[in-house]
Homo-oligomer: A and B are copies of this chain.
Amino acid sequence: MPLRETCCSVCDFILEYDTPRIVLIKNKKVGLINRLVQLVILSYIIGWVLIWRKGYQDFDSIVSSVIIKVKGVAFVNSSGFGERLWDSADYIIPPEQESSFFVMTNLIRTENQTQGHCPEVSLHKCIIEVSLYKYTNACGVLTGKCVTFNEGVKTCEVLAWCPLESQTVFPNPALLGGAENFTVLIKNNIRFPQFNFSKRNILPNISASYLKTCVFNRTKEPYCPIFRLGDIVRETGDKFQELALQGGVIGILIKWNCNLDRSASECVPQYTFQRLDNRNVDETVSPGYNFRYAKYYENSAGKETRTLIKAYGIRFEVEVFGKAGKFNIIPTMISIGSGIALLGMGTVLCDMIILHLLKKRNYYKEKKYKYVEDYERVSP
């Protein structure tokens, strides 16, 4: 032994193996508790970490692109418009957005506005502010005069786009209620860069002829990428004709959860629809969804005129999310490793019971612990 020590203590260190000395206690109560705790931890590791959370897989997040195409025409025959047909170039505003689209379903139109002076429509519509540049939601700038609006009513004169928007209530029923039957084709290409896996929501087994006629249906046609707007709204729990009046925001969520250890054909999109804005109709501060835009003309005199449109409608936001998992040795090792570390917790728990709660605790303490006095105290 002294020889070995001097000649090759490194070899010695390398070739020896240290393992904790274990006290094996034969006590039914504590034994059972110990095994029970271990069982709970083991089932947590296997059930939750490995099977449910797929702890043996490496994950990658999704990269996605969305192309949207709305089809359909709406025929309007109202007193204000006469017979008029609206197609996608008319009701999609702006014509192109990255992953959302706005479909106009109702509108208030004020034609032939020019810059000029005119009486305010009502005191309620434009809040009067005395100073010109005070922040205000007035329709224009007050000139300080008081002019006749109509018989017997005088209102403040404003410098504004005249005539002012006079209609204060949206048409009911919605002018473009026919939008319920519009369809939207959503083309969604996804990629999981880490696994070099890409797919699109037009699945390989979908034929071109099928795509010309199909409409998404949760039970019958769950993989058809063409959606009827009315169906989307119905699934959110709203009624299209009610929503069309004031507008709103609806999310089209596409979820791709792919287990790439299985066949690629099992990696398919799941569509869900959600109302994203506040549904509450008794909300008084600009409920629904609307905005104003204008078409500008030049009249024969060369003066700029515009048609102001207050557009009510539904904004659809397409959101793609999901992740892909694939077996990888490193996360597997880490999951198992942290599981084994957790198994140690069972010992800690049982030690507490055996050393502090049991009647025979002093006996067990003696067995578990080896008391070592300090050197000085012992050596003399």
- A1 CB → nearest B CB, Å: 9
- Give the residues in chain B near A360, CB-CB below 8 Å: 375
A24 touches B17 (CB 8 A): yes
A159 touches B228 (CB 8 A): no
Range of interface residues on A (Cβ < 8 Å)? 35 or more
B159 touches A85 (CB 8 A): yes
- Give the residues in chain B near A100, CB-CB below 8 Å: 98
A220 within 8 A of B: no
13 contacts between A and B (CB under 8 A): A16-B26, A18-B24, A27-B374, A48-B330, A85-B141, A85-B160, A89-B294, A97-B97, A134-B181, A189-B276, A189-B278, A295-B296, A367-B372
Partner of A215, one of B28, B135, B178, B342: B135
Residue interface mask A268-295, B partner, CB < 8 A = 1: 0000000011100001111001011111
A residues 357-375 in Cβ contact with B at 8 Å: 360, 363-364, 367-375
Distance in angstroms between the alpha carbons of A338 and B339 in the assembled complex: 10
A residues 245-303 in Cβ contact with B at 8 Å: 249, 251, 276-278, 283-286, 289, 291-300
A156 within 8 A of B: no
A175 within 8 A of B: no
* Given A135-B72, A189-B278, A298-B299, A22 and B20 contact (CB-CB distance below 8 Å): yes
* Given A132-B75, A317-B65, A18 and B14 contact (CB-CB distance below 8 Å): no
- A194 CB → nearest B CB, Å: 13
Distance in angstroms between the alpha carbons of A135 and B90 in the assembled complex: 17
A35 within 8 A of B: yes
Partner of A367, one of B211, B293, B350, B370: B370
- A369 CB → nearest B CB, Å: 5
Distance in angstroms between the alpha carbons of A375 and B185 in the assembled complex: 76
A56 within 8 A of B: no
* Given A17-B350, A65-B276, A137 and B71 contact (CB-CB distance below 8 Å): yes
Residue interface mask A77-95, B partner, CB < 8 A = 1: 0000001110111101111
- Give the residues in chain B near A212, CB-CB below 8 Å: 285
Distance in angstroms between the alpha carbons of A338 and B340 in the assembled complex: 11
